[in-house]
Amino acid sequence: MPTIDVAYITNLCQKLYFPAEEYTIATFITAHVSLFYLFRDMTGADAKAQNFTLVEIEDIVTTCSKNAETAMRNVRLFMEANYENIEAVLLAVRICSPSGMWPASHY
């Protein structure tokens, strides 16, 4: 997982969960992939300290993965090649099934 600092992830999550303006699909993907890794790599002791059960952690990881994959299905195949979009696709490819990211109708 590429290193993304806490401030960047916090900013993404604030844009997504407390939107003052519209956010991009790339923000949605990057936030969910980042949360996927954050929770997937959480130790049992850290989960317990944050009052999460292992079942809750597994549910969060599954939800974040499904959200990222679903969002990737809605990304235009020929989207603008900017930093935000490239970052989102590269991060999502690591957790999503590449063959399942775009439906056949987008080819």
**Summary mean pLDDT of the chain:** 85
Binned at pLDDT 50, 70 and 90, residue 100 comes out as low
- What residue type is assigned to position 6 of the chain? V
Binned at pLDDT 50, 70 and 90, residue 91 comes out as confident
The per-residue pLDDT for 62 is 95
Report the alpha-carbon distance of residue 21 to residue 56 in Å, rounded: 30
pTM over 0.95: no
pLDDT tens readout for residues 22-53: 999 999 999 999 999 999 999 989 999 999 99
Q: Is the pLDDT of residue 99 over 60?
A: no
Q: Please compute the mean of the pLDDT values over residues 51-71 and round it to a whole number.
A: 94
